[in-house]
A and B are shown apart, each in its own frame.
Chain A
Amino acid sequence: MDPEVLEAVKKALISRLGETKVLWKKPDIVLYRKDTYRIRFDEDYKYLPDLVVLPETTAEVQEIVKVAAEHRIPLIPKGGGSSRTGMLVPIHGGILVDTIKMNRVIEVSVPNLYVTVQPGVTLKELEEHLSEHNLALNQEQGSLRMATVGGSISTSGFSRKHQKYGTIADRVMSLEVVLADGRILRTGQKVLYTSTGYRLHQLFVGAEGTLGIITEATLRVEPLPEARDAIVAFYKGFWEANEAAQRTMASGVTFTGGEAYEGHDMSSYGAPPGLKGLFYVGFEGIKGEVEAEVEFVRKIVADTGGVLATHENASKFMGMYSEQWCGARTRTKSEDVLTTYVPMERMVEFYDILWNKIGKKYDISPLPGEKYGLDVGRYRIVAGRFFLPKGEGAWEKYQSALREIAELATSMGGSVSSCHGVGIQHKESIKLEYSKVALETMRAIKRALDPDNIMNPGKKIDI
């Protein structure tokens, strides 16, 4: 940014927000340069925001947007910062709007089962707050300890309990959004079901901050369940565990969510020697209902040759969910993850091409225990985690691999990214997933809401 403009913008923001809510010193802003995206290896410090602001109210967000709009400066809205696809990288500089101080719970309505919050409250904090009212949002994503409501909505985040409670997209009832011209958009009343109006709130689910800044969200909540239980079963490998998963999904039995995968070392969960496949299912509801559901899935496990884990080991496994989310990154210092959607009947073919053709061609190999993974339930993410290529041309190989994985998933009728969004990582690849008309419609929406392209420019879709 031009130094004179930067100084004027800084001065304007300080006068409107106060000095403590505006950061500009390098030891502060260097920390806001990216999310968990693997930026080009030699460009780690290339993109820095010019300023970081920490608003606490909708009115302050409006002031920030007005200043940015006046100078046509990019705005990058931030939640917990756990995005994996680069949606927080300030590739054009600008003002990074950290919503983390907008963390108030505004209203809990027990009779109408909703909660209204500012966007910066984390999913964990919100669950703790709701539990005091015997309510739950039931959004368990791997990043739940730092992911914010605003960030989760903007990324269309996943939940381990998706089968019973849906993901955040299914929970959103109404939003307040500051648009690119500073106006406040309220998407509708705090109702879950209406047949009036366009469903504007859904427009901002997964929008990655490209259409406006979410400043308030009303979300559907549920009563805390009377009973909870879980089944963990071990199998020879992933495909045997997958058989149990497919039968469970086809049966119509109610469960919160589940997973089938092939682990590296399952002995810490009590797996008999040689069994690497794991299938787990969670249950919540009234006591008799949960007992019946558990019994039903136990039978599926028995019929598919699974070995049930003890209750203690099942609990231990359920407790390591968030560790599973990020632990490998620190240990390996060289990994990325795919969260594609692939039709179930093409899964064998998908994994075969992924690891035996694309993997070999571009030097990507699965992390131990991360070769196969399926989220069991209505949102069926086909996942895998892989080591990045090394040596000369590593970045190019990595990008080519991502491109071919996207081509593979979309050619099968699937999606490039079920739950990590697009950011800059998949920006080119989503052109494979949507028709020309669909993309043009998306661009038209973006232009209508953000004609100067100041809302997180260069992310999700090029206009």
Chain B
Amino acid sequence: MTDQEFAEMFETAESCVYCRCGCCKDGCPMYAEILEESISPKGRNELIRAISKGIVEPDERALRIAFSCLLCRRDEFSCSAQLKNADVTESFRRYLLERGLPMLPEHDLLAKNLANYGNPWGESKSARKRWAKDFLSKRFVNGKTETLFYVGCTFSLDRTLQESPRALASLMQKAKEDFGLLLDDELCCGSTAKRIGAAALFEKVQKLNSEKIRATGAKRIVTACSGCFKTLKQDYGGLLNGIEILHSTEYIALMIEQGRLKLDELPKKVTYHDPCHLGRHAGVYDAPRRILSSVSRLKLIEMRNSREKSGCCGGGAGVKTAYPSISQKVAVRRIVEAEKTGAEMLVTTCPFCMQTLKSAAQESGSKIEVIELSVLIDRISHPKGGRK
């Protein structure tokens, strides 16, 4: 961590400690479950300041507190000063690890998997193309294909989620998009490494991945993973400058608005869950809603907390790995909120949101169908001029 990075972290913590209002606790999903001051942005900022001033020695408890955050940024929309608490928490994680504290064992495994297998889930390189049996012919041709469909580790390797990349590839075909896949050559974006404080590993992964992508000559990247989208777009420090990076929702909305996809009607009540990395981090709130609003007879009902104030699913920033039961409680809270709308479907568009919300719906006996947006649209779409 550079002196400047430390100064920025300390300055934000200091500003927060001076105020101590606790507005950040309003909506903080981790605080809502644990209800201890330390598990809130205010509490972490206090701890950052106390450790930085030598009042508190960094220890395992401090480490646990640092990693009890979803980096969801919900608190930043409650904070009058809009302090960048997620960035500060990421810095705090790095700071503690650089001061010699060990990585949480649960996260250590993720980092080792990423270093050894190229993905956090410990799957083989070839497993990355399992989802794409029907799309093997779409291997990206360097210098020729324009659009790279960047699938990401979780969508491509979690068998329960592979319907999503297939749906998006299908939509691209229907829209006659000239797209290509890296299949088993695709590399991790490094998001997991960054969130768990593995700074050196992230540096290495982003370098390799950006070089790989640059070598394709792609003009644009489309990804359905909100985590990959945020990382490629915001965390690569200009390494992908010049390449347009679109989330699948932005891309599908364009395809519909350009008339390249036609949609059947769908007489359903649905609600939409904003993934944190897509919404609060990247500011993409409208595209998914534009898509849903374009479906005839579909009624979109917003949850009490949506857009900037959307609740987190509980799946982010290593929390699901380190604290699975708390992650599950956060997700159940969101499911309960979705059910209150009376919607039959809960639509979202992030592999982690899908994992946690689906599991929470099952756990809580909810009848609401949790569905990824590409999958929903693929079911009701057909090419321009195609059969209805």
Residues of A within 8 A of B (CB): 23, 25-28, 30-32, 34-36, 45, 54, 80-82, 98, 100-101, 103, 122, 124, 128, 143, 145-146, 322-323, 325-327, 329-331, 333
Contacts and interface: CB of A to CB of B under 8 A. Distances in A.
Contact of B80 (A26, A323, A333): A323
Given A27-B65, A326-B80, A333-B15, A100 B22 contact: no
Is chain B's binding surface mostly helix, strand, loop or mixed?
Answer: loop
Which of A35, A322, A326, A331 gathers the greatest number of chain B CB atoms within 10 Å?
A326
Contacts of A45: 50, 55
A331 B61 contact: no
Nearest to A334: B18
Contacts of A26: 56-57
B37 interface: yes
A36 B21 contact: yes
B25 A146 contact: yes
A103 B61 CA distance: 26
B55 to A, nearest CB: 5
Given A28-B61, A81-B22, A54 B35 contact: yes
B26 interface: yes
Contacts of A23: 36
Contact of A27 (B26, B38, B78): B38
Interface in B76-90: 78-81, 83
Contacts of A27: 38, 47, 50, 56, 59, 61-62, 65
B18 A28 contact: no
B81 A82 contact: no
Contact of A32 (B37, B57, B65, B304): B37
A330 B16 contact: yes
Given A124-B26, A145-B26, A146-B26, A327 B36 contact: no
Contacts of B56: 26-27, 30
A329 B18 contact: yes
Given A45-B50, A327-B81, A330-B16, A31 B21 contact: no
B23 A322 contact: yes
Q: Please name the 7 residue pairs, one residue from A and one from B, whose CB atoms are nearest each other, closest first.
A: A327-B80, A330-B81, A326-B21, A145-B26, A329-B19, A31-B37, A146-B22
Interface of B: 14-16, 18-23, 25-26, 35-38, 42-43, 46-47, 50, 55-57, 59, 61-62, 65, 78-81, 83, 304
B376 to A, nearest CB: 29
Contacts of B22: 80-82, 146
Contacts of A54: 35-36
A327 B80 CA distance: 5
Contact of A81 (B14, B37, B83): B37
Given A28-B61, A81-B37, A326 B19 contact: yes
Nearest to B17: A44
Given A326-B80, A327-B81, A330-B80, A28 B36 contact: yes
Given A27-B61, A124-B26, A145-B26, 13 more contacts: A27-B56, A31-B38, A31-B42, A36-B19, A82-B22, A122-B26, A145-B78, A322-B23, A323-B80, A329-B19, A330-B15, A330-B79, A333-B15
12 contacts: A30-B47, A30-B55, A30-B56, A54-B35, A81-B20, A81-B22, A98-B36, A124-B26, A326-B80, A330-B16, A330-B83, A333-B15
A327 B20 CA distance: 11
A325 B80 CA distance: 9
A34 B20 contact: yes
B77 to A, nearest CB: 11
Contact of B21 (A30, A103, A143, A331): A143
B262 to A, nearest CB: 38
Contact of B20 (A28, A30, A35, A124): A35
A54 B37 CA distance: 11
A124 B15 CA distance: 25
A120 to B, nearest CB: 8
B302 to A, nearest CB: 15
A331 B81 contact: yes
Contacts of B47: 27, 30-31
Given A124-B26, A333-B14, A322 B38 contact: no
B53 to A, nearest CB: 8
Nearest to A80: B22
B21 A325 contact: yes
A55 to B, nearest CB: 11
Contacts of A100: 35
A322 B77 CA distance: 12
Nearest to B37: A31
Contacts of B43: 31
A43 B312 CA distance: 38
A7 to B, nearest CB: 19
Given A27-B65, A28-B38, A82-B21, A322 B50 contact: no
B26 to A, nearest CB: 4
A146 B14 contact: no
B80 A322 contact: yes
B257 to A, nearest CB: 29
B61 A101 contact: no
B152 to A, nearest CB: 35
A32 B35 CA distance: 13
A158 to B, nearest CB: 16
Contacts of A128: 304
Contacts of A82: 21-22
A31 B20 CA distance: 10
A81 B62 CA distance: 21
B18 A146 contact: no
A331 B61 CA distance: 30
Contacts of B35: 54, 100-101, 103
A330 to B, nearest CB: 4
Contacts of B57: 26
Contacts of B65: 27-28
